[in-house]
Amino acid sequence: MISTVAIVGVGLIGASFALALKKCGFTGRILGVSSEGALRAGLESGAIDEGCSLESAVPRADLIYLSQTIHRIIEVFPALDGLVRPGALVTDAGSTKQTIVSAAGRALTKCQFLGGHPLAGKEQRGAVAADPDLFRNRRYVLTPTGANDLETPGAAEFLEWIKRIGAIPVVITPQEHDRTVALTSHLPQLASTALAAVVAQHIGSDESLRVSGTGLLDMTRLAMSPFDVWHEILATNASSLERALQIYIAKLEQIRQALDQPALRSDFEAASALAQKLRS
């Protein structure tokens, strides 16, 4: 029975998860472990009930929710193993999974770890932007590595909470997760960044830049994401992403050689069908 939750990293995701739990009927205690400013914001919004050190929060918690950056998550594992209550569930919300799941496998010997990735977010960051409905109708990926990982009491109850907060669980392996998001999330980001970088470099005047339509706006929205959000994601998914970029570059090269060929129609048709399926 999950009665105490420790949110480690009280940012947008951690604070939203806490608010979502409370909105959906969780009556236990939620402890926050984070910087002073984040704890203050988390307490003010009612996301957390108490700000604690890692050392005081983890031994009390049945669910430890790691919502820091990828490297911070990996760094905290060794300390967790000495603090965690047997039977507790440790989960995370990191954007790549293989690196985190294998680090957890090496470091955590006394409790279960279940990798997670909620496909939710918004442009504002931090606990001040937290929203109890952030996960509603969004996919929440879980990446168990053992056959019974979702059937332990802690995992089964956590899965119930994911559903109660309105998210749609998707169960895949860490490898499949990373390969998929390389194509569906990280490649779109780099396609946008590269496009904006190229336009910045080759369109000299602001006046010429205005000779553009709404398409360029769509295609450069992601380019506004800061590098600090992305560098750990890109670095910890480099091999899947290298492959995704190779595939994308090959397709662009093929298009470049067929600009006046009717064969280009099949790419437009496949692309249009995919874009419409995404919206259905």
Of 79, 160, 175, 251, which one interacts with its own copies (CB under 8 A)? 251
Q: Which residues inside 67-126 make contact with its own copies, applying CB under 8 A?
A: 119, 121
| Smallest distance from its own copies to CB 105, Å | 22
Q: Which of 36, 86, 148, 202 binds its own copies (CB under 8 A)?
A: 202
Q: How far is the CB of 35 from its own copies (least distance, A)?
A: 23
Kindly report the CA angle at 89 between 83 and 95, in degrees rounded to 5?
105
Least distance to its own copies, CB of residue 57, Å = 30
Residues 221-240 contacting its own copies, CB under 8 A: 221-227, 230-231, 234-235, 238
Name the one residue in this structure whose structure tokens are 């000779």: 211
Angle subtended at Cα 18 by Cα 17 and Cα 22, rounded to the nearest 5 degrees: 115
Residue 20, C-beta contacts closer than 8 angstroms, at least 6 positions apart: 132, 133, 134, 135, 165, 166
Quick one: 55 or 218, whose CB is closer to its own copies?
218
215 near its own copies, rule: CB under 8 A = yes
Signed CA dihedral, 217, 223, 226, 232: sign only = positive
Tell me how crowded residue 26 is: count the other CB atoms within 10 A of its CB.
Answer: 17
Residues 134-193 that bind its own copies (CB under 8 A): 139, 141, 168, 170, 172, 176-177, 180-181, 183-185, 187-193
Does 263 interact with its own copies (rule: CB under 8 A)? no
Residues numbered 22 to 61 that lie near its own copies (CB under 8 A) are none
Q: Taking each helix axis from N to C terminus, what angle separates 238-256 and 174-181, rounded to the nearest 10 degrees?
A: 40
The minimum distance between CB 179 and its own copies, in angstroms, equals 9
Neighbouring-strand partners of residue 66: 8, 92
| From 17-25, 65-73, 76-84, 202-210, span contacting its own copies (CB under 8 A) | 202-210
- Closer residue to its own copies, CB minimum distance, 69 or 152: 69
Shortest distance, CB of residue 280 to its own copies, whole angstroms? 9
* CB nearer its own copies, residue 79 or residue 274: 274
Phi, psi of 25 (to 5 degrees): 105, 5
Count Cβ atoms within 10 A of the Cβ of residue 273 and give its class: 0-12 exposed, 13-18 middle, 19 or more buried.
exposed
